[in-house]
């Protein structure tokens, strides 16, 4: 019986993409890192091509990273991949699941439907309503609908003048279609990333921020540490990720003085936090899971 051929949709040269391809190649002897920028859908010949490789002939495709920056164009890339999915290729995660998380509002509504505790959040196109919300929240963060790693987010505090807040809102609206406003919570300098593979809990790591940034992302100088959650917190993470059908994800959780809240569930999730914070090779765990699932097909 021939070994399965699994391609990795990702960013060539990026560690998380390459390490996943490494783990798959070690078990199957096949390696394909696919840059969506170079993919062509050929409807006349019914192929989804990447450098001479027809992706519809593969046994599976793992969407590790579909683009460097989220945008409406990312959803177009998912539509291309759905062609391979419809042709019988297993997608990890399924395109409809990833699509629900590319847009922050869609992801938030799924969590709300699942009754997952989140920071107070309001969404509107209206500047005056946005201004009233910021003032009512005291301290708030404007979050673009399409962004990762806190890119494009703006923090407004109760110390900011009315004029400053209005100007910030006006400038923000020039770049964004809608105001997504979330009340800040006391992170105590950290938040958590809870890792799940195939819906099963793997580990939890903490992202610890530095004093120069309001967020804890590694891009802003944060670092990873291990964290041991209790059963109740793991169940919250499990319930949050169950709002979607994801093969691999991290659930972002904050511990606040009013109890834990979920910021978001990642469409893809990273490997470095699990490795550096927990000592777990999540890429290997994920590769093992995918190969077992493909073998069942």
Same domain for 250 and 161: no
Same domain for 281 and 191: yes
Least confident of 110-119, 172-181, 207-216: 207-216
Instruction: Look at residues 183, 205, 229 and tell me which one is the last residue of a structural domain.
Output: 183
Residues for the chain: how many in total?
A: 297
Within a domain: 1:
no
Q: What is the mean pLDDT of the chain?
A: 92
Q: Decide if pLDDT at 1 tops 70.
A: no
Instruction: Look at residues 183, 210, 229 and tell me which one is the last residue of a structural domain.
Output: 183
Same domain for 66 and 16: yes
Domains contained in the chain, number:
3
Q: Decide if pLDDT at 2 tops 90.
A: no
Q: Output the pLDDT for position 96.
A: 93
CATH of the domain at 241: 3.30.470.20
Same domain for 62 and 12: yes
Q: How remote is the C-alpha of 128 from its chain's centroid? A: 31
Instruction: Look at residues 92, 109, 133 and tell me which one is the last residue of a structural domain.
Output: 92
DSSP character at residue 125: S
Task: Give the span between the Cα atoms of 168 and 19, in whole angstroms.
Answer: 41
Q: Output the pLDDT for position 177.
A: 87
Within a domain: 12:
yes
Within a domain: 270:
yes
Kindly state the average pLDDT of the residues 63-90. 91
Within a domain: 103:
no
Within a domain: 105:
no
Least confident of 117-126, 144-153, 286-295: 144-153
Closest to 203 in 3D by CA, of 282, 122, 257, 118: 282
Q: Decide if pLDDT at 215 tops 60.
A: no
Higher pLDDT, 235 or 1: 235
Q: Output the pLDDT for position 210.
A: 62
Q: Output the pLDDT for position 297.
A: 80
Q: Decide if pLDDT at 72 tops 90.
A: no
CATH of the domain at 60: 3.40.50.20
Sheet arrangement for strand 47-50: 39-42, 47-50, 53-54
pLDDT digits (tens, 9 = 90+) for 243-280: 999 999 999 999 998 899 999 999 888 899 999 999 99
Q: Decide if pLDDT at 91 tops 70.
A: yes
Within a domain: 108:
no
Kindly state the average pLDDT of the residues 210-215. 52
């Amino acid at each position: 019986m021939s070994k399965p051929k699994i391609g990795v949709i990702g960013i060539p040269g990026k560690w998380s993409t390459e390490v996943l391809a490494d783990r798959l190649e070690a078990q199957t002897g096949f390696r394909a890192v696919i840059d969506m920028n170079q993919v062509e859908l050929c409807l006349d010949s019914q192929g989804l091509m990447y450098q001479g490789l027809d992706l519809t002939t593969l046994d599976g495709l793992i969407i590790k990273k579909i683009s460097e920056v989220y945008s409406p164009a990312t959803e177009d890339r998912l539509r291309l991949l759905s062609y391979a999915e419809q042709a019988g290729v297993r997608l990890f995660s399924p395109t409809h699941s990833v699509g629900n998380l590319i847009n922050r509002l869609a992801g938030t509504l799924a969590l709300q439907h699942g009754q997952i505790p989140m920071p107070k959040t309001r969404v509107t196109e209206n500047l005056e309503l946005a201004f009233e919300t910021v003032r009512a929240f005291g301290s708030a963060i404007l979050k673009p609908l399409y962004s990762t790693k806190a890119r494009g987010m703006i923090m407004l505090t109760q110390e900011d003048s009315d004029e400053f807040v209005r100007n910030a809102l006006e400038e923000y609206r020039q770049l964004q279609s809608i105001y997504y406003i979330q009340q800040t919570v006391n992170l105590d300098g950290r938040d958590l990333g809870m890792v799940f593979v195939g819906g099963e809990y793997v580990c939890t790591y903490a992202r610890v921020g530095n004093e120069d940034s309001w967020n804890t992302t590694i891009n802003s100088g944060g670092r990873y540490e291990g964290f041991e959650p209790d059963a109740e917190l793991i169940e919250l993470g499990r319930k949050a990720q169950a709002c979607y059908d994801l093969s691999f994800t991290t659930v972002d959780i904050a511990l606040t003085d009013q109890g834990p809240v979920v910021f978001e569930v990642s469409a893809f999730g990273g490997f470095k936090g699990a490795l550096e914070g927990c000592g777990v090779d999540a890429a290997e765990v994920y590769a093992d899971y995918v190969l077992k699932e493909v073998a069942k097909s």
